Amino acid sequence: MWPTIAALHMEEKPAKWLKVHKLKNGLGDWPTFIDAVEQKFGNNDYREALTQLLELQQGSTLDQYISDFEDLLYQVNMHNSEFGELFFVTQFLRGLKPEISNVV
Regarding whether 96 and 63 lie in a shared domain, the answer is: yes
Mean of the per-residue pLDDT values of the chain: 87
Write the single-letter amino acid at 89: V
Q: Count the Cβ atoms, other than its own, within 10 Å of residue 43.
A: 14
Regarding whether 27 and 48 lie in a shared domain, the answer is: no
Reported confidence tier of residue 43, pLDDT bands at 50, 70, 90: low
End-to-end CA distance of the chain: 34
Regarding whether 100 and 74 lie in a shared domain, the answer is: yes
Write the single-letter amino acid at 87: F
Residue 6 is given by DSSP the state H
Regarding whether 3 and 21 lie in a shared domain, the answer is: yes
Regarding whether 97 and 85 lie in a shared domain, the answer is: yes
Question: Global pTM?
Answer: 0.59
Domain count, the chain: 2
Residue 71 reports pLDDT greater than 90: yes
CA distance linking residue 36 with residue 30, whole number of Å: 10
Write the single-letter amino acid at 79: H
CA distance linking residue 69 with residue 31, whole number of Å: 24
